[in-house]
């Protein structure tokens, strides 16, 4: 399944315009079952699991990727620090609600596919996130177990760093910056001298005669005595 920079939302694929950073360090906790009734006496398997992903530092999330294992629906909640909030510095927000992973809970379609959920699909901006809670739901009793695996969270790439100029380009003198001509002759004077020399050359070439010069006749009186 092709996933690079592609978004899948309600069966429509489109290319992501936002760059993602590296996968962040996180701790994926074991699934916790939510079961109604007496856990000891009730033999009905749980239909809901919760997986908490604890981030080492606050992260602005760009993408959450994972491999499905017979989970029909997924809800994503994030615990994030709200800027400017002093009474309740950390609050839970629902980013994705009942995201469909299987075309039908009773059939195999999508049961073991790879998925990516991007920030463009989320109901709230996942910035300054310190915890991600994944709520897995499988209403069908056909499958004995369900889960999601290979969970990875990618941070939002720094737009400024994406536009960094290579070091060799930074050494080039900008066009608007005047060149340092200290110690060099005046360009106007040099240009005037060159034009003057070119004019003299043209005059000399035009004044040359095309008549050939004959041989020299030496006078008999001009001789060398021993």
Write down the domain spans for the chain.
23-36+44-155
- Give 120-157 as a DSSP string: GGSSS---SEEEEEEEEE---SS-S--EEEEEEEEEEP
**Residue 138 or 9, more confident:** 138
**Over residues 98-105, mean pLDDT:** 95
User: Is 80 exceeded by the pLDDT of residue 184?
Assistant: no
**Over residues 123-144, mean pLDDT:** 94
**Residue 7 or 85, more confident:** 85
User: Is 90 exceeded by the pLDDT of residue 121?
Assistant: yes
Stretch (H or E) spanning 193: helix 187-207
Write the class of the CATH domain 23-36+44-155. mainly beta
| Average per-residue pLDDT for the chain | 76
The predicted structure's pLDDT at residue 197: 72
**Residue 133 or 179, more confident:** 133
């Amino acid at each position: 399944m092709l996933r690079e920079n592609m978004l899948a939302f309600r069966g429509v694929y489109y290319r992501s315009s936002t760059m993602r950073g590296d996968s962040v360090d996180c701790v994926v906790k074991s699934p916790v079952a939510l079961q109604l009734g007496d856990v000891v006496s009730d033999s009905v398997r749980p239909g809901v699991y919760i997986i908490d992903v604890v981030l080492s530092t606050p992260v602005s999330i760009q993408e959450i990727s994972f491999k499905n294992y017979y989970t029909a629906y997924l809800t994503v909640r994030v615990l994030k620090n709200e800027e400017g909030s002093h009474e309740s510095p950390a609050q839970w927000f629902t980013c994705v609600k009942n995201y469909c992973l299987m075309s039908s809970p009773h059939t195999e379609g999508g049961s073991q596919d790879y998925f990516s959920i991007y920030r463009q699909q989320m109901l709230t901006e996942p910035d300054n996130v310190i915890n991600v809670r994944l709520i897995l739901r499988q209403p069908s009793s056909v499958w004995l177990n369900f889960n999601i695996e290979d969970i990875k969270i990618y941070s939002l790439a720094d737009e400024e760093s994406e536009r960094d100029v290579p070091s060799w380009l930074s050494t080039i003198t900008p066009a608007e910056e005047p060149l340092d001509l200290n110690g060099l002759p005046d360009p106007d004077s040099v240009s005037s001298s060159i034009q003057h020399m070119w004019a003299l050359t043209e005059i000399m070439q035009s004044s040359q005669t095309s008549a050939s010069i004959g041989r020299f006749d030496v006078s008999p009186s001009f001789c060398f005595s021993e």
